[in-house]
Structure 1
Amino acid sequence: MSPMSFNLAHSLPELILAVGALFLLLFGAIRGKDSDGPLTEIAVGLIGVAILTIILGAKTQAIVFDGLFIDDAFGRFMKVLVLLGSIVTLVMGQNFLALEKIDKFEYPILVVLSTLGALILVSATGLITLYLGLELMSLALYVLAAFHRDNLKASEAGLKYFVLGALSSGMLLYGASLLYGFSGTVSFTGIAAAINGQASIGVVFGLVFLMTGLAFKMSVVPFHMWTPDVYEGAPTPVTAFFATAPKMAAVAITVRVIITAFPGITTQWQQIIVFISILSMVLGSVAAIGQTNFKRLMAYSAIGNMGFALVGLAAGTPEGVEGVIIYMAIYLVMTLGTFAAILSMRINGRSVENVADLMGLAKTNPAMAFFLAMMMFSLAGIPPLAGFFGKFYVFNAAIQAHLYPLAVIGVLSSVIAAFYYLRVVKFMYFDESTVAFDPPPAILRVVLGVTAMLSLFLFVYPPLFTGAATAAAKSLFLP
């Protein structure tokens, strides 16, 4: 096999999305308004093919494109999560965009381009590839946040995200330049070899600024300020996309950078991860209590969940990384199910987002109330639902690494967070009915039902899922 064929074979999902995005852009420009529906279906097909190429493709590890891009078990697992988040949010959002009259042909193209950036980000082996993937993902997200341009909240959300995103990109670049200056290389393994366990003040500053940029994309405290406003202001399908695919990519590259570029200076990066993890868990648990808008509540829930995920990374062990991977996969399922419920909340053709609008849902739509209750119980971490297992794996890794205070704070934060999840259940089952929701589209019922069942029955045979996560985690620690 020629070097070029070898490169392309290990970057086939990215190639499919890149060529597909160019085709979609040309098709949309030529067809104009008539292309709205077909483009979404073609985009879904492209992402579906990309998932199949990962699942059915070669399982060998390879570094291609002159050491800029890696194809390994960890990358493949996280890419499947990214692509699942993209494909489900695209399918779920079609009806909403049509009803709001914003089903423009650019929407699926922007989602595909952002997904492409996320895939490149997951497989980055150096600072240059990291920045290229991050910016490709982010530039499309800036436009998507303000996609409903006639809506003041959406325009405000897009502007806030763009300004803060530009600031975070600058910080990340500054950190990358410091790391390059003090190590003489941009590759993660090269940085690890140059540092050789000796962290100079310049390397520590570079690490801090690099983590600042990545923390912004994960929306963890203290770089979370954009999250509630953007989640509330952006169109709901866009918010669902924000909460899933880009989150998977941001966590994946953070784990890869920490484990492969800074293995010898655990004390330095562990302090950063523990600090932002504690702040995120506490703020995500406390600040959500007073929220009345369901999307803002999910924003603070996302902040808290990212904090829980980082508990596993703080351990710095294969078991910790495995915990992060499992937690993110379960988080993806729970988030997609919850947003399917939010998209189903329409009264007389008008979209509603307040938690109080769920009052009496158990009487008017018992199936939706049951499935959404499963999502809330799972997010709260109540056994034997999937959310409990996600928290169990990350807390167990922290305990094995002797990070007892972090695990205790995590458990206490989880208990506090249970209040606002259970309040949603209380509204649905114990309050009087106000007005019934319009019947949701079949696809939303399917997504809500499937995700609820996955959350409910994961405990039946966990190895079906955890085996791949274990292999993915171990691949990061290979020499």
Structure 2
Amino acid sequence: MPIGLESWTLARPEIFLAAVTALLLLYGVLRGETSAAFVSVATTVALLVTAVLIFTPYREGTAFSSLFIVDRLTATMKVLMLIGAAITIPMSRAYFERVKVWRFEYPIVVSLAALGMMLMISANDLMSLYVGLELQSLSLYVIAAFQRDSIRSTEAGIKYFVLGSVASGMLLFGASLIYGFCGGTAFVQISRALLEGKAGEIGVIVGLVFVVAGLAFKIAAVPFHMWTPDVYEGSPTPVTAFFAVAPKIAALSLTISVLMGPFKPLFPQWQQIIVVVSVLSMALGAFAALRQPNIKRLMAYSSIGNVGYILLGVAAGSEKGIQSVVFYLGIYLVMTLGSFAVILLMKRRDMMVEQVNDLAGLGRTHPMLAFAMMVFMFSLAGIPPLAGFWAKLYVFMAAIEAKLFWPAVLGVLASVVASYYYLRIVKVMYFDEPAEALDASAFGVNRAIAFVAAVIVAAFSLAPQPLSLVAAAAAKGLFP
């Protein structure tokens, strides 16, 4: 079947990003290591321009024989992901320059990962889903081990690759079962087959379980979270910041598209799985981080807990539930980038430090930085009136509306437990005596990101409507 102009128009942002990435790769190869600064700036601009292209002009529809779909939800998730990816590139420069591995390949690989995530988000077929997922995954394996002289970074890359390969195999096996029993890989074909009576086939249920398991690995949900603490701790800190936002947004968007699209007829079956995964993730995220001394590892468990809250909105299976997910992800993006911007400023004698105790006395030595970190920790703990409180409130309200009373109650309890380790960081910053102050840092990219994010999180209660309206519009497309 010939591919019409409409298909190319709908995929305009992806085509633009792929073309720019290819040109920048060629430029980097020809110019060598001196091109790193230009390539990083150009890639950041390209990612932001791609985000603008998604909505100017905005179009909906399917492309490439229904392999690719654009709607309000996919467009919104792409923009959130691209903003996260774009911000992490300038955040990375000072770190990689200090360890002498700042090379033009890094922003190129981040851009390729973002391209894979865009294809994932717009997947409308199990085959295009897998292609996008693997493009993203292969790029992430590379940047996890980007600091090649570091044993920890290399180990993180290998662990991520091995466990990620197993998860990809599980997803592919599940997809093959679904294809065998439903007679097609397109989401429309699968949905039609389920509505015509295939929903009762045990093979379809087993296939769905394997697909959900593969997706749970990508979003770091229990019990497929095992890679997260080690990879977060071992990867270079800017890479960890990237992992914490962009891939999570893309994988959660894909999870919604799969469960609320072709598998919506199996809602009673998959809701049980998602509720269990959500509760376990919230519980593990709350309890496992209580005694974590390493702040990157602590943030890994925090991300697992946040995924649990987000999945509670997915489990609701309602328009309000999906709205709460998009709303939560928008706030989570700002909180997480701000937190990692502060973590990237944790240096002593020009060496990065990662222990929670290294923040001791920050309130006296670097009061503005400590205040920003306090805002992020209070927000992640869900303390009103900060943005994180509204994110959790939206999710719990959606769960209660869907009669998921016990999961919502357990989520609130998990949030209370998790508050301990967030507040412990505040206590260390303001009440512990510093053994040695952190290095003073000039007002650079990371300080700017930390302060801007802190202002957004702190002032969010004054104007929550714009994000709420965007989330409502994104969710509405799934419930015509």
1:110-125 mapped onto 2 (5 Å cutoff): 110-125=109-124
CA RMSD, Structure 1 to Structure 2 (Å): 1.1
User: Distance in 1 between the 2:200 and 2:317 partners?
Assistant: 17
Q: Which amino acid aligns with 1:466?
A: S
Aligned equivalent of 2:192:
193
Q: Deviations over 1:419-466 (max 9, x none)?
A: 000000000111112322223352111111111111111111211111
Q: Which amino acid aligns with 1:140?
A: S
Q: Residue 311 of structure 1 contacts residue 394 of structure 1 at CA under 8 Å; is this kept in 2?
A: yes
Q: Which amino acid aligns with 1:54?
A: I
1:207 aligns to 2:237 (yes or no): no
Offset of 1:3 from its aligned partner?
A: 5.7
Aligned equivalent of 1:302:
303
1:429-444 mapped onto 2 (5 Å cutoff): 429-440=430-441, 441-444=443-446
1:178 aligns to 2:162 (yes or no): no
Q: Which amino acid aligns with 1:364?
A: T
Aligned equivalent of 2:425:
424
Q: Residue 199 of structure 1 contacts residue 265 of structure 1 at CA under 8 Å; is this kept in 2?
A: no
Aligned equivalent of 2:7:
7
User: Distance in 2 between the 1:48 and 1:439 partners?
Assistant: 31
Segments ≥4 residues shifted beyond 6 Å:
none
User: Distance in 2 between the 1:199 and 1:453 partners?
Assistant: 51
TM, length-normalised to structure 2: 0.98
User: Distance in 2 between the 1:460 and 1:199 partners?
Assistant: 49
SS at match of 1:135: helix
SS at match of 1:279: helix
Q: Deviations over 1:226-260 (max 9, x none)?
A: 00000000000110111110000000000010001
Aligned equivalent of 1:341:
342
1:127 aligns to 2:129 (yes or no): no
User: Distance in 1 between the 2:54 and 2:427 partners?
Assistant: 42
User: Distance in 2 between the 1:438 and 1:7 partners?
Assistant: 53
Aligned equivalent of 1:454:
456
Q: Deviations over 1:354-378 (max 9, x none)?
A: 1100000000010000010000000
User: Distance in 1 between the 2:6 and 2:246 partners?
Assistant: 27
Aligned equivalent of 1:98:
97
Q: Residue 363 of structure 1 contacts residue 433 of structure 1 at CA under 8 Å; is this kept in 2?
A: no
Bigger CA drift: 313-322 or 45-54? 45-54
Q: Deviations over 1:151-196 (max 9, x none)?
A: 0011110000000000000000000001111111111222111011
Task: Give identity over the alignment, percent.
Answer: 50
1:291-330 mapped onto 2 (5 Å cutoff): 291-330=292-331
Aligned equivalent of 1:262:
263
1:46 aligns to 2:41 (yes or no): no
User: Distance in 2 between the 1:435 and 1:88 partners?
Assistant: 30
SS at match of 2:293: coil
Q: Residue 63 of structure 1 contacts residue 70 of structure 1 at CA under 8 Å; is this kept in 2?
A: yes
User: Distance in 2 between the 1:10 and 1:281 partners?
Assistant: 37
Offset of 1:264 from its aligned partner?
A: 1.4
Offset of 1:65 from its aligned partner?
A: 1.1
Q: Deviations over 1:90-148 (max 9, x none)?
A: 01111111111110111011000000000110001110110000000000000100011
Q: Give structure 2 stretches of 5+ with no counterpart.
A: none
Bigger CA drift: 194-203 or 33-42? 194-203
Q: Deviations over 1:64-104 (max 9, x none)?
A: 11101111110111001110110110011111111111101
Aligned equivalent of 1:56:
56
Aligned equivalent of 2:413:
412
Q: Which amino acid aligns with 1:437?
A: L
User: Distance in 2 between the 1:459 and 1:42 partners?
Assistant: 34
Q: Which amino acid aligns with 1:448?
A: A
Aligned length: 476
SS at match of 2:264: coil
Offset of 1:477 from its aligned partner?
A: 2.4
Aligned equivalent of 2:107:
108
User: Distance in 1 between the 2:57 and 2:85 partners?
Assistant: 20
Q: Residue 44 of structure 1 contacts residue 87 of structure 1 at CA under 8 Å; is this kept in 2?
A: yes
CA spacing shift, 1:307–1:37, aligned 2, 3 Å = same
Q: Residue 330 of structure 2 contacts residue 467 of structure 2 at CA under 8 Å; is this kept in 1?
A: no
Q: Residue 114 of structure 1 contacts residue 138 of structure 1 at CA under 8 Å; is this kept in 2?
A: yes
Q: Which amino acid aligns with 2:80?
A: L
User: Distance in 2 between the 1:281 and 1:116 partners?
Assistant: 30
Q: Which amino acid aligns with 1:205?
A: V
Q: Residue 331 of structure 2 contacts residue 391 of structure 2 at CA under 8 Å; is this kept in 1?
A: yes
User: Distance in 1 between the 2:238 and 2:247 partners?
Assistant: 14
Offset of 1:32 from its aligned partner?
A: 1.1
1:29 aligns to 2:29 (yes or no): yes
Q: Which amino acid aligns with 1:90?
A: I
TM, length-normalised to structure 1: 0.98
Aligned equivalent of 1:169:
168
Aligned equivalent of 2:158:
159
Q: Residue 112 of structure 2 contacts residue 139 of structure 2 at CA under 8 Å; is this kept in 1?
A: yes
SS at match of 2:221: coil
User: Distance in 1 between the 2:240 and 2:278 partners?
Assistant: 23
